[in-house]
Amino acid sequence: MEKIVQNDAIYLRKLSISDGKYFFELNNDPKVLKFTGDFPFFDLDAAKLFLSDYSNYKRDGYGRWAVCLQKNDEFIGWCGLRKSQESGLVDIGFRFYTSYWGKGYATMAARLCINYGFETLELSQIVANTYIENLASIRVLEKCGLAFNKNIMYDGREAVFYTIDKIMVKEIGAEETFPLRASILRNNIPLPISFEGDNTPTTIHLGAYSVGELVGVCSFMKSISPLVQGNQYQLRGMATSEDFQGKGIGKLMLITAIDMLKNRGVTTLWCKAREIAVAFYKKQGFKIIGNPFEIKYIGSHYIMFKKIK
């Protein structure tokens, strides 16, 4: 038996015909079927036939998987990814015995599957849809970092469509940037983690999320440098968690910010770049202007700028 993904509490494996008993029981529980749109299996043989004809593994290399407890291998439900042959979208789905509802297993399993989809399968987006009254499933999706996209009709009923990108960038509050600023930019350095201008209404704070976890932050403040010209904003506090460095998160946050700044009429973006970050900023189209200067506790810096409009 191959464990596809796992944590300390559960593991996921491929489904097999021997799981027919569990599928028959799940699809004969009215509480389980209430929000699925599915019908009960006629008998155990029908459930086994469904599993024998399950072609997703061979066709796509992944699919729905059995969720089992690590401590005793007990089957408690299923969770996994499914690729639509019509749209090409990959959705996350899950179903559990009612005795395991409300214990966090759906969220655990969904997060494992989403991480697998992004890291192993290299998917760019995962989606989900559920009936609008299925509040429990909606909570699971949101705990996993999926965000509401739109209202839809699904099997003739009102439903919601949720999405998560491999890395999702969105506006956040100033205080949400502090933990990463502290751990990445101020680690053992006696400098403040809050910046002048953090709470100015014109300031933009962005956060990059991976499966609901904040893994990157940066801030953009209306600030003037005498070395550059134009309607200016300063980039400050770009930080990416160690496990996600080198994966393009800084670039993605910059792209998102520049689109926002252009809409505000900003023409020039500048920053005080640490020496070790100069190569990164050059790749993003920034240029050095002026001479290097020292910032206490950190070291050599350069003023760098980029025309964005």
**DSSP-derived 3-state class of residue 226:** coil
Cβ neighbours of residue 211 closer than 8 Å, sequence gap 6 or more: 111, 114, 115, 118, 144, 145, 164
Query: Which of the following CATH numbers is that of domain 5-165: 3.60.21.10, 3.90.1150.10, 3.40.630.30, 2.60.40.10?
Result: 3.40.630.30
CA 85 to chain CA centroid, Å, is 24
CATH of 168-307, one of 3.40.30.10, 2.60.40.10, 3.40.630.30, 2.60.120.260: 3.40.630.30
pTM: 0.70
Residue 36 has pLDDT above 90, yes or no: no
pLDDT higher than threshold 90 for residue 210: no
Start-to-end CA distance of the chain, whole Å, equals 57
**Sheet with 5-6, side-by-side order of all strands:** 5-6, 10-14, 64-69, 75-83, 90-96, 125-131, 157-165, 147-154
- pLDDT surpassing 80 at residue 37: no
Could you report the per-residue pLDDT of 277-297, keeping only the tens digit for each? 999 999 999 999 999 999 999
Q: What is the pLDDT of residues 215-236, one digit of tens each?
A: 999 999 999 999 999 999 999 9
Q: Do 168-307 and 5-165 have the same topology in CATH?
A: yes
- State the pLDDT confidence band at 107, using cuts at 50, 70 and 90: very high
In this predicted model, what pLDDT tens digit does every residue of 166-175 receive, in sequence order?
Answer: 888 999 999 9
In this prediction, residue 26 carries a pLDDT of 92
Q: What pairing do the DSSP bridges indicate for beta strands 268-274 and 232-240?
A: parallel
Q: In the chain, what are the domain boundaries?
A: 5-165, 168-307
